[in-house]
């Protein structure tokens, strides 16, 4: 598995041998070669040179190409104020005094503003490092873009003229789609939608104004067979859940977010279809049943037998090795269920790792009943079990050395007959 | 419910028009102007300020409330002048050069106006010279600098130096704030006052003006 594939695997929410690494070098990239922010963001050769230096130095699994939230705004008529130490800022808001929504014919085109420069660098990066490094194209999120265009009055509009805000956000969403299309065509693997302002509003405002635009945007990016990420700056802890519900492939946060609180939410959110299995199998949500009911069911058992499989990998990128171990786990869990059924009683619950895996294509996809109800396996996670806590409780190791991968499975049962 | 409580509650919901009507009603009922301001507008705003600090309400909620406060306060202003209630002081505020984050600065400004200060808004991307100019030529007693970047915080030190060079350091007070700014930083650069949020910033500015 290449470095890039390791990141893709994480974006598909598969278990990876290690966490992928995406150093967020934007104008800092310039610092590495002695160039200032304005030079990096306005000169093609400087930008490319800086990004290649980042790639050489940090050996990233994924790398953003340009982080300038003002790229679209500049094309759409905002004046920019340039600085040596940071990206430019928006200095004027074209819609500040006119409550209008621009015509869709004004959406950015590849020859406008600094797009020719950015698109060229994207193509060159793809050619030079794209084989091994996943490339991120960053677009300005609809809410921040709307505030660039309208200014801070946008916040007041959310109270005084909701319809206007919806219309303006729709325009900005279409802008996001147009930008994504251009970036994908230039070879980007992941589109990151960056919206710092999301940290400044309540969850109910998010649901009222941003849930739809974001769902639409992420679905669009996915329909182009690309990955996406929802970037937010500032303390957006309370909004992580509503952000997840717009179904991005991943969420990117900064140090202001309470990472443990956020993880609790993302762990539970099967609906965000992070593993890609939501709605694809009888043994996965939503068909497996309500999470609360499943947790309750699991809690009714008195005993649990936990077992694990440790797979040896060639290196930390050995994706095939990981898949092999996954298959071995499914086979072992199947054998436990078939050969040891008499030990656990008829009402035992057999849980394995990462969904069912008995059939290569679940009958559910063809609207047919389960082919092997006696063999079908749900995952520990589907029943709300936190596998790393379970491992600790069972006195087993979750991580078993470098270049290994460990899967867990369990049988829950009543009478202690083993 | 007394009209003052009604003012406070509607302000918290950001109902600017109703707040304006109620303030007019209170004036007509003969309630002293200072009391309308303190027990109606400012009491409502301090509830919002507190909730904002505790992460219970967010920027849009605070902005609409502050807007309602300012609409009410606009009715009181001419009366205060008549009654001889003087402005609490005059300050200028701006986001420093290279920085255009102005949400926090605007909140601070609105809170200061609510507390009866006259505020000159220098906008964003403000050079040290522009602050000094406002102090020298518009009679601002306090210079307030906001910065949201670790890279633009340094400009605040330049403002302090520029005040020294201009020979007005003993005549003006300099306040600093914004997410990355700390008490330590304030002391290090030789500024006079740091506070972490808009409500305390407004109180502190009033105090500084009194002291001058
Ligand atoms: C909203 C926001 C934006 C908005 C700004 C909209 C606007 N008109 O202001 C937008 C989307 C435009 C934006 C753009 C950018 N941003 Co920004 N942004 C933020 C964010 C998420 C919140 C800031 C905010 O408004 N908070 C709400 C207000 C109410 O809080 P506040 O400003 O702190 O103010 C309060 C107090 O500090 C105090 N206060 C404020 N001023 C003063 C003054 C005085 C005198 C006193 C006493 C008190 C005081 O009272 C206020 C109310 O209680 C922060 C994250 C963060 N943690 O702060 C990043 C953040 C500041 N941004 C950041 C960056 C990098 C950028 C960009 C460069 C991104 C890019 N690559 O393009 C651009 C460039 C902008 C520029 N050149 O100026 C970084 C800065 C990193 C650094 N090392 O400095 C941050 C920290 C995010 C991050 N973690 O990366 N951003």
**Digit-coded pLDDT (tens) for B118-132:** 999 999 989 999 999
Using a CB-CB cut-off of 8 Å, the residues of chain B touching A86 are 98, 149, 151-152
Are B95 and B155 in the same domain?
A: yes
For residue B100, the ligand 1 atom closest to its alpha carbon is 78
What's the CATH code of the domain at B25? 1.10.1240.10
Domain final residue pick, B83, B113, B138: B83
pLDDT at A122: 98
What domain range includes position B115?
A: 90-211
Are B57 and B109 in the same domain?
A: no
Closest residue, chain A, to B103 (C-alpha): A152
The answer to whether the Cβ–Cβ distance between B102 and A152 falls below 8 Å is: yes
Are B56 and B122 in the same domain?
A: no
pLDDT at A137: 98
Q: What count of residues does chain A have?
A: 418
> Which fold is adopted by the domain A3-272?
TIM Barrel (3.20.20)
pLDDT at B192: 97
Are B29 and B126 in the same domain?
A: no
Are B188 and B156 in the same domain?
A: yes
pLDDT at B74: 87
Query: What pairing do the DSSP bridges indicate for beta strands A303-312 and A404-413?
Result: antiparallel
Q: How many domains does chain B have?
A: 2
Contact with chain B for residue A85, Cβ under 8 A:
yes
Task: Give the integer Cα–Cα distance in Å for B2 and A399.
Answer: 65
B198: preceding bond cis by omega (within 30 degrees): no
R_g (Cα) of chain B, nearest Å: 17
ipTM of predicted complex = 0.79
pLDDT at A106: 97
Are B31 and B15 in the same domain?
A: yes
Q: pLDDT digit string (tens) for B151-203?
A: 899 999 999 999 999 999 999 999 999 999 999 999 999 999 999 988 899 99
Task: Give the integer Cα–Cα distance in Å for A283 and A374.
Answer: 12
Position B50 pLDDT exceeds 80:
yes
Are B78 and B14 in the same domain?
A: yes
Q: Which residues contact B160 (CB under 8 A, 6 or more apart)?
A: B169, B174, B189, B190, B191
Are B133 and B157 in the same domain?
A: yes
What spacing in Å lies between the alpha carbon of A103 and ligand 1's midpoint? 30
pLDDT at B212: 78
Q: Which residue has the CA at smallest separation from atom 27 of ligand 1? A: B104
pLDDT at A281: 87
The answer to whether the Cβ–Cβ distance between B149 and A89 falls below 8 Å is: no
Q: pLDDT digit string (tens) for B3-47?
A: 999 999 999 999 988 999 999 999 999 999 889 988 999 899 989
Position B63 pLDDT exceeds 60:
yes
Task: Give the integer Cα–Cα distance in Å for A91 and A81.
Answer: 6
Query: Does the Cβ of B8 fall within 6 Å of ligand 1?
Result: no
Closest CA to A90 of A154, A185, A32: A154
Using a CB-CB cut-off of 8 Å, the residues of chain A touching B100 are 81, 89-91
Ordered per-residue pLDDT tens for chain A, 418 residues: 789 999 999 998 877 888 999 998 888 999 999 999 999 999 999 999 999 999 999 999 999 999 999 999 999 999 998 888 889 989 899 999 999 999 999 999 999 999 999 999 999 999 999 999 999 999 999 999 999 999 989 999 999 899 999 999 999 999 999 999 999 999 999 999 999 999 999 999 999 999 999 999 999 999 899 999 999 999 999 999 999 889 899 999 998 898 888 887 877 655 555 566 777 889 988 888 888 889 999 999 999 999 999 988 887 667 778 888 888 998 999 999 888 888 888 889 999 887 788 888 888 888 889 999 888 889 888 898 878 778 888 888 877 877 888 899 999 998 765 4
Using a CB-CB cut-off of 8 Å, the residues of chain A touching B124 are 89, 91
What spacing in Å lies between the alpha carbon of B149 and ligand 1's midpoint? 7
Contact with chain A for residue B150, Cβ under 8 A:
no
What's the CATH code of the domain at B176? 3.40.50.280
CA of A5: how far to CAs of A9, A17, A190, B60, in Å?
6, 12, 12, 41
The answer to whether the Cβ–Cβ distance between B59 and A89 falls below 8 Å is: no
Task: Give the integer Cα–Cα distance in Å for A112 and A182.
Answer: 12
Contact with chain A for residue B107, Cβ under 8 A:
no
Are B95 and B11 in the same domain?
A: no
Task: Give the integer Cα–Cα distance in Å for A142 and A174.
Answer: 9
Using a CB-CB cut-off of 8 Å, the residues of chain A touching B64 are 155-156, 159
On average, the pLDDT of chain B sits at 92
Q: Answer yes or no: are the C-beta atoms of B104 and B178 closer than 8 Å.
A: yes
What spacing in Å lies between the alpha carbon of B106 and ligand 1's midpoint? 12
Domain final residue pick, B83, B99, B125: B83
Closest CA to B110 of B153, B76, B136, B74: B74
Are B107 and B206 in the same domain?
A: yes
Are B109 and B174 in the same domain?
A: yes
The answer to whether the Cβ–Cβ distance between A202 and B63 falls below 8 Å is: no
Q: pLDDT digit string (tens) for B84-115?
A: 777 789 999 999 998 888 889 998 998 898 88
Q: Which helix (H) or strand (E) holds B193?
A: strand B193-194
For residue A26, the ligand 1 atom closest to its alpha carbon is 71
Using a CB-CB cut-off of 8 Å, the residues of chain A touching B98 are 81, 83, 85-86, 89
For residue A232, the ligand 1 atom closest to its alpha carbon is 21
pLDDT at A386: 79
Domain final residue pick, B45, B65, B83: B83
pLDDT at B36: 93
Are B10 and B70 in the same domain?
A: yes
Query: Does the Cβ of A7 fall within 6 Å of ligand 1?
Result: no
Long-range contacts from A338-347, C-beta under 8 angstroms, 24+ separation: A338/A375, A340/A411, A343/A417, A343/A418, A344/A305, A344/A411, A344/A413, A344/A417, A344/A418, A345/A413, A345/A414, A345/A415, A345/A417, A347/A413, A347/A414
Q: Where in chain A is the domain with CATH 3.20.20.210?
A: 3-272
Query: Nearest by CB to A85, which of B14, B64, B151?
Result: B151
């Amino acid at each position: 598995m290449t470095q890039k594939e390791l990141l893709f695997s994480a974006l598909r929410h598969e278990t990876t041998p290690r966490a992928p690494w995406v150093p967020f070098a934007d104008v800092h990239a310039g610092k590495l070669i002695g160039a200032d922010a304005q030079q990096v963001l306005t000169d093609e050769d400087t930008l490319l040179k800086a990004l290649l230096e980042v790639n050489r130095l940090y050996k990233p699994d994924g790398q953003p190409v340009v982080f300038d939230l003002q790229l679209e705004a500049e094309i759409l008529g905002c004046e920019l104020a340039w600085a040596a130490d940071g990206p430019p800022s928006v200095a004027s808001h074209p819609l500040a005094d006119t409550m209008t929504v621009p015509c869709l014919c004004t959406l950015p085109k590849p020859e406008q503003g600094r797009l020719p420069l950015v698109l060229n660098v994207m193509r060159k990066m793809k050619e030079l490092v794209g084989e091994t490094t996943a490339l991120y194209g960053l677009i300005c999120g609809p809410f921040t873009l709307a505030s660039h265009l309208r200014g801070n009055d946008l916040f007041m509009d959310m109270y005084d003229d909701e319809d206007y805000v919806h219309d303006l956000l729709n325009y900005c969403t279409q802008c996001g789609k147009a930008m994504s299309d251009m970036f994908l065509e230039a070879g980007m693997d992941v589109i990151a939608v960056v919206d710092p302002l999301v940290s400044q509003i309540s969850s109910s405002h998010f649901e009222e104004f941003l849930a739809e635009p974001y769902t639409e945007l992420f679905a669009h990016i996915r329909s182009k067979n690309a990955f996406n990420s929802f970037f937010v700056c500032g303390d957006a802890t309370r909004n992580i859940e509503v952000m997840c519900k717009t179904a991005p492939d991943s969420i990117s946060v900064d140090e202001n977010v309470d990472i443990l609180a956020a993880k609790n939410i993302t762990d539970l959110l099967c609906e965000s279809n992070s593993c890609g299995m939501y709605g694809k199998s009888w043994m996965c949500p939503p068909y497996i049943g309500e999470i609360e009911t499943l947790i309750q069911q699991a809690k009714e058992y008195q005993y649990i037998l936990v077992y694990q499989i440790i797979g040896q990998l060639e290196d930390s990128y050995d994706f095939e090795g990981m898949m092999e171990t996954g298959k071995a786990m499914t086979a072992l869990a199947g054998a436990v269920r078939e050969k040891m059924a008499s030990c656990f009683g008829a009402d035992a619950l057999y849980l394995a790792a990462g969904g069912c895996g008995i059939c290569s294509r679940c009958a559910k996809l063809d609207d047919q009943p389960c082919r092997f109800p006696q063999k079908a396996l749900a995952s520990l996670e589907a029943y709300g079990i936190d596998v790393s806590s379970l491992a600790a409780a069972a006195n087993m190791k979750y991580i078993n050395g470098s270049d290994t991968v460990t899967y867990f499975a369990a049988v829950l049962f009543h009478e202690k007959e083993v | 419910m007394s009209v003052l409580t009604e003012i406070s509650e509607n302000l918290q919901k950001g109902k600017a028009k109703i707040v304006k009507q109620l303030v007019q009603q209170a004036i007509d009922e003969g309630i002293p102007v200072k009391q309308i301001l303190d027990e109606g507008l400012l009491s409502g705003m301090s509830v919002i300020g507190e909730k904002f600090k505790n992460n219970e309400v967010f920027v849009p909620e605070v902005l609409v409330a502050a807007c309602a406060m300012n609409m009410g306060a606009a009715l009181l202003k001419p009366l205060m002048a008549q009654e001889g209630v003087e402005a609490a002081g005059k300050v200028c505020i701006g986001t420093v050069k290279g920085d255009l984050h102005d949400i926090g600065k605007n909140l601070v400004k609105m809170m200061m106006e609510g507390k009866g200060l006259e505020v000159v808004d220098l906008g964003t991307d403000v050079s040290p010279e522009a602050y000094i100019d406002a102090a020298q030529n518009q009679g601002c007693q306090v210079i307030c600098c906001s910065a949201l970047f670790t890279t633009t915080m340094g400009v605040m030190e330049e403002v302090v130096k520029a005040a020294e060079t201009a020979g007005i350091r003993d005549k003006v007070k300099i306040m600093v704030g914004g997410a990355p700014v700390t008490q330590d930083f304030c002391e290090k650069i030789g500024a006079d006052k740091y506070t972490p949020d808009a409500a305390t910033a407004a109180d502190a500015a009033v105090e500084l003006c009194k002291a001058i």
